[in-house]
Structure 1
Amino acid sequence: MRRRAESSGHIAVEGSIVMIDLDRFGEVVEERGWSEYQPNPATGLLTSLVESFLRKWHGVIVYGLDETRGTEEAVIEIPLVEPVELRRDLERIQRELNSIGVGVTIVAVKGYVLGKPARSRREAYTATPFRRYAASLLREAKRRGGNRLIIA
């Protein structure tokens, strides 16, 4: 197990950073007449899938899990787990969302994880070089049409 101290006084360990984002969410909500402000079939399903994923892998939700409104995006850290180990569960999340006609882009990268929730959306996506890398992969995949799973 590799550890290193962060300047903020927190211990960081190697693990996986996972970012999940529903594709074209605004368009899908409008097309189907779903609510943006309470769980709809997509955000409710993603909330449930993320909660199950967190329990299985002992992950930490850094940002995005919202049971009140439904989850549109999530940033998750999982200490001491390689991204490749998560592949089957991430494929399952993608498959289940695709089965209701919703695209989702998922990125999992290896890096140091802090294991604590972010104070803001910006911090969730930029607090570490590994999160910035994952966020750049996510943006690029969405620009190329989305509905992709990237393990890096």
Structure 2
Amino acid sequence: MFPPRGFFSNLFVYIIFDMTKIKQIQEIEKKRELITALRILETLFILIAIFFMTIIHREEKTLTLETVEELIIFIDIDNFKEISEAQGWVPYKPNDITGTLTQLVTDFARKHTGEIIYGLDEIRGTEECMIRLTGALSHEEIQKDLEYIMNEIQKIGLENGCEATLSIGVARGPYTPVKPTGPYQWSKRLFKGQAQRLAHKALKKAKRQGGNRIVFL
């Protein structure tokens, strides 16, 4: 018994149609896979871009300190004991260097609406001090004013026949207020605040590098 007329031709058409349909499905699947791969790559590129932008932002914030909420500045005269002995200055009395530093620090704090939280001494002269600044602060302006203080102290030292320099440590907040428990507790309790400790660390780093410099942390 033979199949009806046209059976094989119709079967051939169906086979061709199915093969074409299979190819179309395969092409659609390939396109879907390609689109999925492209979307994954796009997501990866976005994540990588966000990662590097975060790193760059952190580096800029660390290096420039363009705008910060709080700043602690620790200033200290380098080798002041040796200078005093060489000059024959009486301890705990103002001399040209400590008296000038008192005035310069006072002017600096007044200009930047800062608070001198440690060390300023108009009666005996200022050998070291710590300043707290708050609000929107310009790194360039602060550094320029600190360099001016350093240059003025150097100038006074040369006028007195000695080499007088400053080391300065600068650190960002948060500031932790610390009250002394007695007349000799300032230096011990002062560095319990986070920003104070960082400023002290920056100052020591400036000292280790030879002094006469500003270190930001």
Same fold (TM over 0.5): yes
Query: Over aligned residues, Cα RMSD in angstroms?
Result: 1.9
1:87-98 equivalence runs, <5 A: 87-98=143-154
Q: Which ranges in structure 2 are unaligned for 5 or more consecutive residues? A: 1-67, 158-163, 181-185
2:169 to 107, 116, 121: 107
1:2-151 equivalence runs, <5 A: 14-82=69-137, 84=139, 85-101=141-157, 102-114=164-176, 118-119=179-180, 120-124=186-190, 126-151=191-216
Residue 205 of structure 2 aligns with an amino acid whose one-letter code is: E
Determine helix, strand or coil for the equivalent of 1:100: helix
Higher radius of gyration, 1 or 2: 2
CA shift for structure 1 position 148: 0.8
Higher relative helix content? 2
Residue 165 of structure 2 aligns with an amino acid whose one-letter code is: G
With the length of structure 1 as denominator, give the TM-score of the two structures: 0.82
Contact 1:83 1:110 in 2 (8 A): no
Structure 1 segments, 4+ long, off by >2 Å, are 116-119
With over 3 angstroms needed to count, the CA separation of the structure-2 counterparts of 1:146 and 1:75, relative to structure 1, is same
Bigger Cα displacement from structure 2, 142-151 vs 60-69: 142-151
Determine helix, strand or coil for the equivalent of 1:78: strand
Contact 2:206 2:213 in 1 (8 A): yes
With over 3 angstroms needed to count, the CA separation of the structure-2 counterparts of 1:82 and 1:123, relative to structure 1, is farther
With the length of structure 2 as denominator, give the TM-score of the two structures: 0.59
Bigger RCO (CA 8 Å, 6+ sep): 1
Percentage of identical aligned residues: 41
Q: Deviations over 1:93-123 (max 9, x none)?
A: 0010011231110122221235x67521222
Q: Which ranges in structure 1 are unaligned for 5 or more consecutive residues? A: 1-12
Higher relative strand content? 1
